[in-house]
Amino acid sequence: MKLSRHTIFIHDFPDPGKYLSFNTRTQAQVVIDATLKQVLDSLPEDNHDDSTMKALSSLKEMGILIEDSTDEELIIEEWFHTIKTDSSKIDATVLTTYDCNFACTYCIEDGVKARIYMDENTARRAVSYIKERVNKDSPEKLLVNFYGGEPLLNLKAIRTVAGGLKQFASERKLPFSFSMTTNGALLAPRVVDELKDYGLKSVKITLDGTKELHNKKRPFKNSRGSFDILIRNILSAVDKIEVDIGGNFDEENIASLYDLLDYLADLGLAGKLRSVGFKPIFSTHRDREKVPHISDMGCVFFEPSVMESMINLKKALLSKGFKTNTGLGVNLCSMVMNASVFIIDPQGKLYRCPGFVGHEEFIIGDIDHPGDEDFSSQDLWKRCIDCAYVPLCGDGCLYAAYIRYGDIKQLNCQKNFMEFMVKEHLKLNYKYSRKKD
């Protein structure tokens, strides 16, 4: 037997002389002692007692160890193929508009926002397109996320799409629900009550700190602050549907996020919110356009201070009782995921990545004439075949590669980021899962 190339170790954790081992493909993790670690370091030596052989057998079942003859490249290739061909669910994102009632200082859709709304005809055609995809793929469930711009500026389109799909799914006895990525300003109690009848299950709302900092980064178009109305709407919605809170940070507002957590906890939201998570503000298409085409813009995720900030925020979230994403699951880019993941814009154009919507060069077809471009067949991950972290990142984010290099196929390796974040997340998961037990 030998170690899987996807097995990593955290030394002297959770105690001195212990090792937390983790396989990035199987997600198996187990603590071993120094004696067993020495055995693993000496493999393929096979002169072991019964107790050691039993331990090695268990590690093999977890995928931490593999047989000497195992072709691990073939295993990971088949594993990615299984993920990319999985048609167990349709996961569609529908943009009801490119318009927005906010004027966020760092908007990823800067240059795309416009008074373009999905009309009734396009909404009905979007329903027909999704129905065709369901008939073709026979999924086990149908999920839709409404996005924008601000999706609630076009409530009529949401009613048409969600209503049509709910009836269709009901007739097929197909589980259906929808979520929404919204700034939250229009998520009044009556809107939540109405949309629940159409299948609304969850919403994601962004808060960028306490009142002063949030209002500075996410004001209304008329410069009025949005914080107070968002808090009112969150407090009303959280007992009716699942609510996720996201936040974006830079040096200006990161300290405020810790105060925000205290504020939300004081409101009794720590145990009610489905999840809370924060990420750094990164560059946009407009930033890319300002530099020479061949320039390397760098990547915010490479900055040690950003990595440390993300982990410190996770620690604060967990210590205050908030649920948060562990960050350890498979995170394949939507550009290379299977065709069951797609985006319909307000005009019926099809995209694969939210970061590219509104940019003509990334259209893959429309709801009347689907395109043939299949990013999933490119298997860019193969150039990272020897990396322990490829099962988690699958060659990374193509949007980030585009922003950094102006080319989605350039390798934007984030191994240092992955190595740091995975190990720190493993420590947090271990600590807080044990505390929960």
Cα 307 from Cα 325, distance rounded (Å): 15
Pair 311, 429: CB distance under 8 Å: no
pLDDT at 375 over 70: no
Residue range 114-134: mean pLDDT, rounded? 97
Pair 63, 4: CB distance under 8 Å: yes
Give 394's contacts (C-beta < 8 A, 6+ positions apart). 80, 330, 331, 332, 333, 336, 381
Tokens 């562990």 — which residue?
A: 326
Q: Which helix (H) or strand (E) holds 202?
A: strand 200-206
Question: Which of 21-30, 377-386, 407-416 has the least mean pLDDT?
Answer: 377-386
Q: Any alpha helices (H) in 99-140, and if so which ranges?
A: 120-137
Cα 416 from Cα 78, distance rounded (Å): 26
pLDDT at 292 over 80: no
* pLDDT value of position 331: 75
* pLDDT value of position 377: 58
Pair 118, 97: CB distance under 8 Å: yes
* pLDDT value of position 394: 84
Cα 382 from Cα 79, distance rounded (Å): 13
pLDDT at 324 over 90: yes
Tokens 């039993």 — which residue?
A: 54
Q: What is the largest CA-CA distance in the chain?
A: 75
Tokens 């350039």 — which residue?
A: 410
C-beta pairs of 17-23 under 8 Å, 24+ apart in sequence: 20/426, 20/427, 20/430, 21/59, 21/64, 22/422, 22/426, 23/62, 23/63, 23/64
Tokens 């600590």 — which residue?
A: 431
C-beta pairs of 7-12 under 8 Å, 24+ apart in sequence: 7/63, 7/64, 7/65, 7/388, 8/388, 8/419, 8/422, 8/423, 9/37, 10/423, 10/426, 10/427
What are the structural domains, with CATH classification, of the chain?
Answer: 2-70 (no CATH), 73-437 (3.20.20.70)
Beta bridge partners of 65: 3
| Residue range 193-247, pLDDT digits in tens | 999 999 999 999 999 999 999 999 999 999 999 999 999 999 999 999 999 999 9
Beta bridge partners of 177: 143
Question: Which of 51-60, 176-185, 284-293, 339-348 has the least mean pLDDT?
Answer: 284-293
Distances (CA, A) of 269 to 110, 206, 306: 32, 15, 26
| Residue range 145-199, pLDDT digits in tens | 999 999 999 999 999 999 999 999 999 999 999 999 999 999 999 999 999 999 9
Q: In what order do the strands lie in the sheet with 29-33?
A: 7-11, 18-23, 29-33
When comparing pLDDT for 233 and 298, which is higher? 233
Beta bridge partners of 7: 23
pTM (predicted TM-score): 0.92
Through-space distance between the first and last CA atoms of the chain, rounded to whole angstroms: 33
